[in-house]
Structure 1
Amino acid sequence: MGADTNFKRICLTLLIAAVLFSPLSSYACGERKPLRVYILVGQSNMVGTGAISTIDYIGDDPATASLHKSMLNEDGNPKTCERVWISSLNGKYRTYGGEGFGRLSAGYGLRREDPTTHGDCIGPEYTFGITMEQHDDGPILIIKTAWGGKSLHLEYRSPSAGEYQLPDELVEKFRDKGVLEAKQAEVQEYSGKYYRYMIEHVKKVLGDINRVCPDYDPEAEYELAGFVWFQGWNDYAATAQYPPSDGDEQFASYSDLLCHFIRDVRKDLKAPELPFVIGVIGVNGNHTPGLFSGPVNAQEKMERLRLAMAAPAQLPEFKDSVVAVPTAPFWDDKLGALGMKQLKIQRMRTSLYKKSKSSPNADGSMSPADIKKFMEDYNVEVFTPEELALKERASGSGGFVHYYGSAKFHAQAGRAFAEALLKQQSQ
């Protein structure tokens, strides 16, 4: 009897250990936790141009070394999350595009050729998901919809904001050119088009979650846990829509449109208290003199937009449910300095082909081979060997508008967005 009792105790102990240390250990009382769903939306800064080849640069900075470590497997390669899945809808200019989905890994940023296959970039989604997985022992789903070159005043315009109307300045301009009717038809077609794409895709994914997340248990259900909005450049550049003559109120209508957007998202997704993060555009960082290119009022204009982007979070209506997260602190001035040198290279190349008066090719005597050799030598003249090495290690394509293709920027932004939502959840 004693041996039999001991055997039963051993079996019971093994059974308990199996339950505790199995994947089901992440669920309390034997019941699976609901799937937490996060929606990430925006334009190219949300699409993500952070080159995977630049990820190791993140580890060079002591301030981001731990972030870099969290992004890697034990073998030193970018990790694939175990409990985070993603559906990412992306397309080229004014197309619907295609969906890539699966477990979250590096490669869900910009996809230059085929949006349904892995690319060579990350966006904020990567470290957003990694951070969420570190703080939540349940399953997580990210639904990301992002297209480059999209404004809030036109393509992402939400229903309660009404249909977009051309500013008087553009009406007169297009009338003079004889294209007014065509332009009016165009804006009518695109007014709110990508807002509708976004909502339709979110509902499509939520309507068949197992297609994206095979381990999803419908009995455990899901909860919409947060929304991240990261956009801005196309509104910044829309001078007719946001006239400088309005002074400090230049981007006031952006704030109004964003309030409409938040309300409409919550209404259309039937989530009236959906936590919302506004990623405040970080292009050019703090506008360190000599490290950015732009007109004399570039900093003032950008600060006006940043204040307008963050403004909804200060309204009593959105207290405790909307938070603005600045991304300017994640801008890399070292890359800004390299970017200014690259701009010098580009201007020289243009002058050679245009044969401008101040160009070394003013008389047009240089052959294409001569120009190529000249530019190779000029590149070495402008950049030191150390700068060229840093440029290769730390930056990708896209220029300053796309944060120089730096994974370091996108990784810090993604983590900050996740932490902002986690803070809201803990309140």
Structure 2
Amino acid sequence: MASLRILLASALACCWLQTTAADTYPVFILAGQSNMEGKADNALLEHQASDPPTAELFAHWRQDGKWIERDDVSIKFLNRQGPLTIGYGSPNKTGLELEFGYAVGEHYQQPVLLIKTAWGGHSLYQKFRPPSAGLPSDEALEKELAQAQQRVRNNNEKRNRNDPLPTMEEIKAEYGVSYRNMMQEVDSTLKNADTLFPALKGKTPEIAGFVWFQGFNDMFGDDAPGEYAQNMKLLIQDVRKAWNKPNLPVVIGALGQNGSAEPSERMKQVQDAQLSMNDVPEFAGNVKTIRTDVLVDKKAEELIDGWQDHVEEWKKVGSDRAYHYYGSPIWYGRIGKALAAEMLKMQQEQ
């Protein structure tokens, strides 16, 4: 009888778990600056998807010579939303969300939602600054104000204008503005998910992971590189607290625009800060930073120098500058796959 009760209880528990899973769907937040936006030109994607040497890399996204739309993976990127396909990067471009979304879509039986919050040129030191970091020192703020005011004075003199000088309140307001916009975008999307995504209607969202791909602008300025590790740690802690997810899996793509070359001193400083998250004791098993330079598209890397002299050849492999990973669909795709693999690995271990 006791064995029967245990079996019955186990069956009921399994049934409850299956029902709960069916009624929820995982949500992944993809955040960062321009490289999280995505800079691989769609025209280049079209070429590589039909060119024999590279077509196999994109075959899982193609059917009858056209790009598929995954009805089990939805995406919201600022004012755009719909089933995942190409074109959810900067205008007419695609980013790492394509392969990241494909991987998580294949993994889950439930539908998946990606919410991308990315703005080019926004540093962790300033615009993405987490609330618990507070403001920089009064000395640093005074210095920033003086520099901003001098820029306006110079511009007024050069262009015969009379623009007002920035105030300290305006300087302070820029700190954390992208963090706040990110949280607002996530909150608004989840509140309106039933309307935005009919396939998710009646289901409950569950924030399942946070993906961070950012860092270029933190190479500049007196304090940003040195503060990166502390601000990154606080960012993770703050989003977990805001979303009530103490062990939320977090994956970070370290700066990798150096590719096969050695990084500059400042780039290495930010890279090291990002990679140091792998050694934070409280992040063991729930935060992972990957290197993205080792995933470089070497063909694009070979052709970037002097590309003006071989434009037609270059256009078959790249569509942007080195700081945007050459606009290489292959490089962005590898990064998306690698981040997804680490994310899913952490979730399985948890």
Match in the other structure for 1:228: 211
Match in the other structure for 2:29: 39
1:174 and 2:153 correspond: no
Return the alpha-carbon distance in structure 1 between the equivalents of residues 130 and 281 of structure 2: 21
Contact 2:32 2:212 in 1 (8 A): yes
Alpha-carbon distance, 1:266 to partner: 0.8
Alpha-carbon distance, 1:413 to partner: 1.1
- Other structure's SS at 1:253 match: helix
Contact 1:110 1:121 in 2 (8 A): yes
Change (3 A) 1:216 1:285: same
Return the alpha-carbon distance in structure 2 between the equivalents of residues 188 and 310 of structure 1: 29
State the TM-score, normalizing by the size of structure 1: 0.69
Change (3 A) 1:146 1:309: same
Alpha-carbon distance, 1:311 to partner: 1.1
Cα deviation digits, residues 193-250 of structure 1 (max 9, x gap): 01000001101111121122212243x42221111010011001x13224xxxxxxxx
Return the alpha-carbon distance in structure 2 between the equivalents of residues 78 and 282 of structure 1: 28
- Other structure's SS at 1:393 match: coil
Return the alpha-carbon distance in structure 2 between the equivalents of residues 330 and 392 of structure 1: 20
Return the alpha-carbon distance in structure 1 between the equivalents of residues 141 and 116 of structure 2: 35
Change (3 A) 1:168 1:210: closer
Q: Which residues of 2 match residues 119-138 of structure 1 at below 5 A?
A: 120-138=92-110
Please, which of 205, 208, 227 is the counterpart of residue 253 of structure 1? Answer: 227
Gaps of 5+ in 1: 1-26, 90-98, 112-119, 243-250, 289-297, 343-378
1:85 and 2:69 correspond: no
Return the alpha-carbon distance in structure 1 between the equivalents of residues 241 and 19 of structure 2: 34
Match in the other structure for 1:309: 274
Contact 1:274 1:321 in 2 (8 A): yes
1:287 and 2:248 correspond: no
Please, which of 316, 319, 322 is the counterpart of residue 393 of structure 1? Answer: 316
Match in the other structure for 1:323: 288
1:100 and 2:80 correspond: yes
1:266 and 2:240 correspond: yes
Return the alpha-carbon distance in structure 2 between the equivalents of residues 53 and 226 of structure 1: 31
Cα deviation digits, residues 313-332 of structure 1 (max 9, x gap): 31111111101121112223
Return the alpha-carbon distance in structure 2 between the equivalents of residues 84 and 222 of structure 1: 13
Alpha-carbon distance, 1:267 to partner: 1.0
Please, which of 50, 57, 60 is the counterpart of residue 70 of structure 1? Answer: 60
1:241 and 2:241 correspond: no
Gaps of 5+ in 2: 1-16, 154-164
1:210 and 2:194 correspond: yes
Q: Which amino acid aligns with 1:43?
A: Q
Change (3 A) 1:67 1:223: farther
Match in the other structure for 1:190: 174
Change (3 A) 1:160 1:29: closer
Contact 1:40 1:228 in 2 (8 A): yes
Change (3 A) 1:190 1:59: same
1:155 and 2:77 correspond: no
Return the alpha-carbon distance in structure 2 between the equivalents of residues 59 and 304 of structure 1: 40
Alpha-carbon distance, 1:141 to partner: 0.4
1:414 and 2:336 correspond: yes
Q: Which amino acid aligns with 1:320?
A: G
Larger Rg over CA atoms:
1
1:110 and 2:90 correspond: yes
Change (3 A) 1:126 1:410: same
Give the aligned CA root-mean-square deviation in angstroms.
2.8
The sequence identity of aligned pairs, in percent, is 32
Change (3 A) 1:389 1:210: same
Count of residue pairs the alignment pairs up: 320
Alpha-carbon distance, 1:36 to partner: 0.9
Return the alpha-carbon distance in structure 1 between the equivalents of residues 65 and 223 of structure 2: 47
Contact 2:259 2:296 in 1 (8 A): yes
- Other structure's SS at 1:82 match: strand
Alpha-carbon distance, 1:340 to partner: 2.2
Cα deviation digits, residues 42-88 of structure 1 (max 9, x gap): 000000011122224378798x765422222x213222112011111
Contact 1:152 1:258 in 2 (8 A): yes
Alpha-carbon distance, 1:299 to partner: 2.8
- Other structure's SS at 2:67 match: coil
Contact 1:164 1:187 in 2 (8 A): no
- Other structure's SS at 2:199 match: coil
Return the alpha-carbon distance in structure 2 between the equivalents of residues 210 and 333 of structure 1: 43
Q: Which amino acid aligns with 2:99?
A: T
Alpha-carbon distance, 1:303 to partner: 2.0
Cα deviation digits, residues 5-63 of structure 1 (max 9, x gap): xxxxxxxxxxxxxxxxxxxxxx957982521111000000000011122224378798x
